[in-house]
Amino acid sequence: RIDGDRLWRTLMDLAKIGATPKGGLCRLALSDLDKEGRDLFVRWCEEAGCTVTVDEVGNIFARRPGRNPDRPAVCMGSHLDTQPTGGRFDGIYGVLAGLEVVRSFNDQGIETDAPIELIVWTNEEGARFSPPMLGSGVAMGVFTLDHVLDIRDNDGIRLGDELARIGYKGSVPVTGHAMGAYFEAHIEQGPVLESENIEIGVVTGAQGQRWYEATVTGRESHAGPTPMRLRRDALAGAAVMMEAVEAIALEVGGDACSTIGRVQVHPDSRNVIPGRIWFTIDLRNPDSDALARMDAMLRERLAAIADKRGLTLELTDFWAFPTTLFAPELVGHVRRSAEQRGLSHRDIVSGAGHDAVYVARKVPTAMIFIPCEGGLSHNEAENIKPEHAASGCAVLADAVLAAAG
């Protein structure tokens, strides 16, 4: 039994920190607001009797002891950072559902055999510091600590410096933390569960992603006296490339997605034909072969457009992870809980990357999805129903109990 009202109140309390006029959140990783959110979370965990530690990359671990201190902890978690125009639930729901599990175990005097840990991973969004999933990535040996501490935001500020500044550069070694299992509850961030009127998504894995940076170089010249035929307009070329990127996902079809999220124009003056355009590309597909095909299409088509227009293209791989499968045994705990509680459910593949994707490389892992309104996320209007939040939290509690004994 979990307390859905308390969970909702806790969500709404945390949603005050970084609230935007449009009802969303802007609480970028390692900002003052992130510190405020983290501090409140730590206080709640300590009030719930947990021991809180912080590792070298700012990941927070709140530990509830088990009967058997030698067993590796059964873990729950997600992230507290948001997109610049993010919602109140992406990441935060998973963390606070975990807190509600701890609180309700306390209320009911439930003891577990394995210790339980609630984890907040640093910089999951990849919005302020990119790529995403940095805290879990370092913990799982995907990135080195030094590399990640050296990543800079758009203003050139180092992640490591911000971590120290907000007081979350901990001393616990970031790798080698003992985890016996990991469960992450999350909003779906897509339309499937809502449109099928289903309460619980039993997440079997996550689709693969490939991220790129493209730099298109032409020749700056005057917007007036330069005849069209003599132009090497980097932006006109980049616009055609952007269309090609969209077309790749449409042609490959199925669940293929392609997105351009950032563009920079140089020199960015109204009457100068742009000499250089920089943009990001995000390709996704749950089918690895199809994702590889999208990668090949991207390289070929963008190069052809550059060639035809006398532009130079530099296309660099920025980040990628392959299609990920979660641990069948833990996925089974999630499915069984939904069944036993009479909640409608279906298997689903995550369209987003989550810390669970990196954790799954070393630790048996599963995720629980709940529906979100209109499938909307990475949007200030992101919303969920309190009863769905409660159902997902109850399933999380069951799954943790099943794993922790």
Ligand X SMILES: NC(=O)NCCC(=O)O
Two structure tokens written together for 148: 């990640």
Binding site for ligand X (CB under 6 A): 90, 124-126, 132, 189, 222-224, 271, 352-354
Work out what residue 156 binds among ligand X, a second copy, none; the CB cut-off runs from 5 to 8 Å by kind.
Answer: none
Tell me the residue number closest to ligand X, measured at CB: 271
Minimum distance from residue 127 beta carbon to ligand X (Å) = 8
Work out what residue 53 binds among ligand X, a second copy, none; the CB cut-off runs from 5 to 8 Å by kind.
Answer: none
Bridging pattern class, strands 221-222 and 200-206:
unpaired
Minimum distance from residue 324 beta carbon to ligand X (Å) = 11
Residue closer to a second copy, measured from CB, 283 or 397? 283
What is the chain's length? 405
With CA atoms as reference, report the closest residue to 386 among 106, 93, 98: 93
Minimum distance from residue 378 beta carbon to a second copy (Å) = 4
Binding site for a second copy (CB under 8 A): 83-85, 125-127, 130, 132, 188-192, 207, 209, 211, 219-228, 230, 233, 235-236, 239-240, 242-243, 246, 249-250, 255-263, 265-275, 280, 282, 284, 350-353, 375-380
Q: Is 141 left (phi over 0), alpha (psi -120 to 50) or beta?
A: left
Report how far residue 319's alpha carbon sits from residue 227's, in angstroms, rounded to the nearest whole number. Answer: 39
Minimum distance from residue 405 beta carbon to a second copy (Å) = 33
Minimum distance from residue 115 beta carbon to a second copy (Å) = 33
Work out what residue 127 binds among a second copy, ligand X, none; the CB cut-off runs from 5 to 8 Å by kind.
Answer: a second copy
Work out what residue 243 binds among ligand X, a second copy, none; the CB cut-off runs from 5 to 8 Å by kind.
Answer: a second copy
Report how far residue 88's alpha carbon sits from residue 8's, in angstroms, rounded to the nearest whole number. Answer: 11
Please give the angle made by the CA atoms of 121, 125 and 129, to the nearest 5 degrees: 95
With CA atoms as reference, report the closest residue to 180 among 76, 92, 83, 101: 76
Residue closer to a second copy, measured from CB, 10 or 209? 209
Tokens 């390692």 found at: 30
3-class secondary-structure state, position 221: strand
